Amino acid sequence: MTRFSANLGFLWAELPLPDAIAAAGRAGFAAVECHWPYSTPPAEVRAALETPGLPMLGLNTLRGQPGENGLAALPGREDDARAAIDQAIAYAQKIGCGAIHVMAGRAEGPLAEETFLRNLDHACRAAPDMTMLIEPLNHRDAPDYFLTQSDQAAALIERAGHANLRMMFDCYHVQITEGEVARRLRTHLPLIGHVQIASVPDRGAPDHGLLDYGPIYELLDDLNWQRPVGAEYRPIGPTDDTLSWLAAASLR
């Protein structure tokens, strides 16, 4: 049976992070994840997680300066990228979070790829007991982002050669950029560390749009996927009013 994680970068985003964690627990989510929790003291986050007994699955490295969308693939920004990675590792360790999304940023070309690989090597070696995630993003939502294709992510993971480097497979981004989500999910499953969902094309709740998630949940069950699937969608209105899909999916 598919279980779900609430992405608190979008869900209950109007609440302080500890309150959003509590709301996710009340709503029946099995886990939570977030984007950039750094303004909240980690002790407060850890205490909030302990009350409903929810794991924090992942968080992101910082985007960088205004207009940037990550640092790890930017030539000449290695010091900033590694500082962001080290910051994410330290915060994750304090709250018991098991994965970090290392954001690549806006870049292109062989030099960007080599820069990304070097920074990923730093991340994987710095925290071998954590999972480092890289995520292909579509160019509509993330213009000029370095990493856009699932095959590209798979090739980078193979080149990096670290057992704790995995792909964040966001069905929303993959459907917009590449399509054939089920086939790509099956193909890349051995390299996938986290799966996320949202409707296509509006990035709303995963109960409408061009991508039918019923067969995706069935495929994940068939593939013996054990980890919660991240609900990273933008709610229209109060988050609690958009959760009818969660009950329906949980009762399959």
Question: What residues are annotated to the active site?
Answer: 135, 232
- Is the alpha carbon torsion for 174, 176, 181, 187 positive or negative? negative
| Burial readout 68-105 (b: 16 or more C-beta within 10 A, e: otherwise) | ebbbbbbeebeebbbebbeebbebbeebebbbbbbbbb
Residue type at 113?
E
In this structure, are residues 21 and 52 in contact, taking their beta carbons and an 8 Å threshold?
A: yes
Residues 233, 217: Cα–Cα separation, whole Å: 17
Within 13 Å, how many C-alpha atoms sit on residue 34's CB side? 27
